[in-house]
Amino acid sequence: MKNTTIIWVAGVLGLLFLILVLLVLTFDVAPIGPEGTSIGLSHINRYAFDLWGVSIFWYSITDWLGIAAIAVAFVFAFMGFIQLIKRRSFLKVDKTILWLGGLYVIVIGLYVFFDVVIVNYRPIIMPGSVHPEASFPSSHTMVVCVIMGSALVLLKQYIKNECLRIALQVICAIVILITVCGRLISGAHWFTDILGGLLISTALVFLYSGIVERME
CA gyration radius for the chain?
A: 18
**In the chain, where the domains are located:** 3-26+39-123+130-211
CA torsion angle 82 85 89 95 (round to 10): 0
pLDDT of 130 strictly over 80: no
pLDDT value of residue 216: 65
Q: What is the mean pLDDT of residues 62-79?
A: 93
Residues 6+ apart with CB under 8 A from 109: none
Give the C-alpha separation, 48 to 39, whole Å: 13
The pTM for the full model equals 0.90
Which element (helix H / strand E) includes 29?
none
**Read out DSSP for 59-111?**
HHHHHHHHHHHHHHHHHHHHHHHHHHHHH--GGGS-HHHHHHHHHHHHHHHHH
The model's pLDDT over 18-44, given as tens digits with 9 standing for 90+, comes to: 999 999 999 999 998 888 888 989 999
The model's pLDDT over 177-198, given as tens digits with 9 standing for 90+, comes to: 999 999 999 988 999 999 999 9
Closest to 194 measured CA to CA, from 8, 72, 24: 24
Closest to 17 measured CA to CA, from 212, 172, 179, 206: 206
The proportion of the chain whose per-residue pLDDT surpasses 70, expressed as a percent, equals 98
Sign of the dihedral through C-alpha 27, 32, 34, 38: positive
